[in-house]
Structure 1
Amino acid sequence: MPSDAQALIDPGDLPDFWLYGYPGQDLVWPGEFVLGYPVSGVDPLIPGPTLSCEPWMRNGSFLVYRVHAVLAATI
């Protein structure tokens, strides 16, 4: 075992399947869900651009709340 703890984790040794969540689905950067962080780029290992947002929106996300009305005739 190497004496240097840094030598234990080498990103170059990571297998390619670590780039995917499920078969065929790329992992995404936090900016896809949280405002103010880099979004996914062309290469999953390199972050894309950081989208601009207001300072009060940083570290926030949006919640979508939908109400569906079910109209069914009772027999």
Structure 2
Amino acid sequence: MAKTLELQFGTDSGKMARISVDNPKEPIDEALVKQAMEQIIAADIFFTSSGKFAVAKGARVIDRNVTEYEII
């Protein structure tokens, strides 16, 4: 079972950009996530094809289960 924390940002061009963090520490502290996102925006180090990160839009944990089958 693989979990990913997805941080969602609005860019200065009005589009959406995301950063994914594998295996986040749980339980998720929403205030800490918001603070980290604000620090990421303030650091101004990420630039995407959609523009620079401008606002924290949301965060979510994605839980993905993969079942492999051996096909002979």
In the superposition, the TM-score normalised over structure 1's length comes to 0.24
Structure with larger RCO (C-alpha < 8 A, sep 6+): 2
Higher share in strand: 2
In the superposition, the TM-score normalised over structure 2's length comes to 0.24
Choose 1 or 2 for highest CA Rg: 1
